[in-house]
Amino acid sequence: MSESAPVVALAKPSGPGATRAAAVLVGLGAEVASGIFKQLGEIDVRRVAAGAKELRRSAPATVADALRFFVDAMDQVGADAAGGDEMLRDVAAKALGGDLARRAFDGVVPPPPPDEVLGPIAQADPESLAMVLAREQPQTIALVLSSIEPERAAKTMEFIPEAQRPLILRRMATVESVAPEVLREVGQALAAELQAVVAGGMRKVEGKNVALEVLRRSTTEQQREVVAQIEKDDPNLAAELRSKLFTFADLKGLHDRDIQVLLKEVEATQLTVALKGATEELKDKLLHNMSSRAAEMLRDDLSAMGPVKLSAVEAAQAAVVKSAMELAEAGRITIVRPTDKML
């Protein structure tokens, strides 16, 4: 039973106390009674329900008598009006925070809301805001995101490059207060950039993903030439593209003979972890190319395996793909691209 609803703190499932509690709720009205019911557990609600049934058979004055009893009980609580200020101040501080309670009870003028200080930035759509913030220092981004609605801040963070997020979150965790003048200055500077973004019709594009899809539809020779050219200027980008040109999911495109060659080069434990995140189609493809005994053992291992970290599954899949690429370079298997013509 919540302490906020003493009128229905009952010791027995039914009886005078339960009836009196039901009568008080009736007297307080539906709206107040609804708020009290939200504070009760099922056992207490059942007690009130039992009292309500007794109330039907009670005298007409029962509700009025119960309300008088309630008022008399409140008078006997002994609340000191002189100490009410301190009590309410403490309650407000615990519920809303010390700064807000202090301003309210001491008559301090509250700070202007972020929407007023930051201007258009506070209401910008998350993707546009992220495009503007991504060019700023982590401390500036942290300052802005800490000053807007949490939901909007979280959505904006989703559009900010992943590499920047740890630094931003680290600084956000240390932001406790900021002068309105500083926020206003930042908001004005970013608002101009935001207006340029919106007016120019700029939008986020996934150029790398598009380039990857184009490459995946190119011949093997074309892929090698393009990636080799990129590698001269950006080795990291070339390595990333190369690793994504053939993925674990692409194994389903291999011929049965090539699958069988690959399976001989892959450790059983590694394959089991890799298949934890595979589609049923790919699982069936690989199991079909094993001996009956090996396939049965793999199925048992998969069934017995508990939850596995995504990073572990991705690492195992990458290792299998690496083995496939090495076999292809050695001429032992053939990797078929979407544009390759086979006879």
Cα 299 from Cα 15, distance rounded (Å): 62
pLDDT at residue 116, rounded to an integer:
56
Closest of 215, 212, 243 to residue 337, by C-alpha: 215
CB distance 141 to 169 below 8 Å:
no
Which of these, 46, 42, 36, 39, lies nearest to 12 by C-alpha position? 46
Close Cβ partners of 266 (under 8 Å, ≥ 6 residues apart) = 319, 320, 323
112/81 Cα distance (integer angstroms): 33
Residue 18 and residue 13: Cα distance in Å, rounded? 7
Worst-scoring range by mean pLDDT, 193-197, 287-291, 320-324, 339-343?
339-343
- Least reliable range by pLDDT among 75-89, 216-230, 303-317: 75-89
Per-residue burial over 23-56, b = 16 or more CB atoms within 10 Å of its CB, e = otherwise:
bbbbbbeeeebeebeeebeeebeebbebbbebbe
Instruction: Pick the more confident residue, 214 or 26.
Output: 26
Least confidently predicted of 97-106, 143-152, 334-343: 334-343
The mean-pLDDT minimum among 87-101, 173-187, 243-257, 298-312 falls in 87-101
Residue 296: its pLDDT value, please?
92
> Do the Cβ atoms of 287 and 316 come closer than 8 Å?
no
CB 295 within 8 A of CB 260: no
pLDDT given at position 264 = 92
The confidence band for 85, taking pLDDT boundaries of 50, 70 and 90, is: low
Residue written as token pair 């199925």: 299
Q: Tell me, what amino acid is at 250?
A: D
Using only C-alpha atoms, what is the Rg of the chain? 34
Read off the pTM: 0.40
Indicate the pLDDT class of residue 134, thresholds 50, 70 and 90: confident
Neighbours of 146 (CB within 10 A): 20
* Residue 262 pLDDT exceeds 90: yes
**Nearest to 160, CA basis, from 142, 147, 178:** 142
Torsion of CA 293, 298, 303, 304, to 10 degrees: 100
Tell me if 273 sits within 8 A of 308, measured CB to CB.
yes
| Single-letter code of the amino acid located at 167 | L
